């Protein structure tokens, strides 16, 4: 049990990076996807700008104003994990048959998402965790409308990331039991908890996994073997 929370975020990141490394070692065929998705996801740690205003206030070992190195590491690790989690758990491999990719559409969805979160938080004053989750869900639905074959991929990616987030945060709370009360702005959210974890964490994880899980296949027109 530790009550000094200064290193809690980096400890959490190290745990996620361990999961990332296990996935990376286990599946040589998915390493390229993991690296690409992780590198593309890492800059989204900068979106802590939105979450720091109304959702939580974590401590950083290295901070850059409103975000820290831990935010970048979190998105790097989570991005790589979610990019391959469906393939890892269900033993899926890529088919040699490809479809049309949608890289420009994916970029448009990303720009729309950032704009929606900005308007939602700054103009409509919706909590960042809710507007980001809604935006993820919307983008995921648009993705599977275009690629209906990716529905299972999206759904199970969201479900698996939600479960990993649940067990991962339970583990972190065992080490830092006062973390939620110290970092989360509980007056701004529902105060509904699952094993001590704000339900918003699981909502965010599911919707993030829902849109990000199949995004590599969506962008590059890849298919998975049945």
Residue 114 has pLDDT above 90, yes or no: yes
Q: What is the signed CA dihedral for 104, 109, 113, 114, rounded to 10 degrees?
A: 0
CA-CA distance, 111 to 27, in Å (whole number)?
32
**Which residues have CB under 8 Å from 177's CB, separation 6+?**
1, 3
Strands (E), the chain: 63-64, 67-68, 193-194, 197-198
**pTM listed for this prediction:** 0.93
Q: Residue 14 has what pLDDT?
A: 95
CA-CA distance, 164 to 145, in Å (whole number)?
27
Q: Residue 1 has what pLDDT?
A: 66
Q: pLDDT for 117-151, tens place per residue?
A: 999 999 999 999 999 999 999 999 999 999 999 99
Closest CA relative to residue 156, chosen from 218, 94, 214: 214
Q: pLDDT for 139-194, tens place per residue?
A: 999 999 999 999 999 999 999 999 999 999 999 999 999 999 999 999 999 999 99
Residue 5 has pLDDT above 70, yes or no: yes
Element at 98 (helix H, strand E): none
Q: Which letter, b or e, does each residue of 193-225 get, where b requires 16 or more Cβ atoms within 10 Å of its Cβ? A: eeeebbebbbbbbbbbbbbbbbbbbbbbebebe
- Mean pLDDT, range 55-79, rounded to an integer: 92
Q: Which letter, b or e, does each residue of 136-172 get, where b requires 16 or more Cβ atoms within 10 Å of its Cβ? A: bbbbbeebbeebeebbebbbbbbbbbbbbbbebbeeb
Q: Of the ranges 98-102, 108-112, 189-193, 211-215, which one carries the lowest mean pLDDT score?
A: 98-102
CA-CA distance, 155 to 186, in Å (whole number)?
28
Q: Residue 225 has what pLDDT?
A: 81
Q: Residue 3 has what pLDDT?
A: 67
Q: Residue 2 has what pLDDT?
A: 65
Pairing of strands 67-68, 63-64: antiparallel
Q: pLDDT for 208-223, tens place per residue?
A: 999 999 999 999 999 8
DSSP state letter for 7:
T
CA-CA distance, 90 to 100, in Å (whole number)?
24
């Amino acid at each position: 049990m530790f009550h000094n929370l200064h290193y809690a975020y980096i400890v959490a990141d190290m745990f996620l990076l361990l999961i990332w490394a296990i996935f990376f070692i286990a599946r040589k065929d998915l390493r390229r996807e993991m690296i690409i998705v992780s590198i593309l996801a890492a800059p989204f740690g900068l979106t802590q700008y939105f979450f720091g205003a109304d959702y939580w206030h974590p401590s950083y070992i290295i901070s850059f104003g409103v975000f820290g190195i831990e935010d970048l590491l979190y998105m790097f690790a989570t991005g790589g994990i979610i990019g391959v989690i469906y393939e890892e758990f269900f033993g899926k491999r890529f088919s040699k048959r490809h479809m049309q990719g949608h890289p420009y559409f994916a970029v448009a969805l990303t720009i729309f998402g950032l704009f929606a979160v900005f308007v939602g938080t700054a103009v409509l004053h919706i909590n960042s965790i809710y507007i980001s989750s809604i935006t993820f869900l919307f983008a995921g639905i648009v993705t599977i409308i275009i690629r209906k074959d990716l529905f299972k991929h999206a759904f199970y990616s969201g479900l698996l990331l939600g479960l990993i987030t649940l067990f991962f945060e339970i583990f972190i709370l065992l080490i830092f039991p006062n973390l939620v009360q110290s970092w989360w702005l509980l007056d701004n959210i529902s105060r509904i908890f699952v094993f001590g974890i704000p339900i918003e964490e699981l909502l965010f994880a599911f919707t993030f996994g829902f849109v990000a899980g199949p995004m590599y296949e969506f962008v590059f027109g890849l298919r998975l073997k049945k």
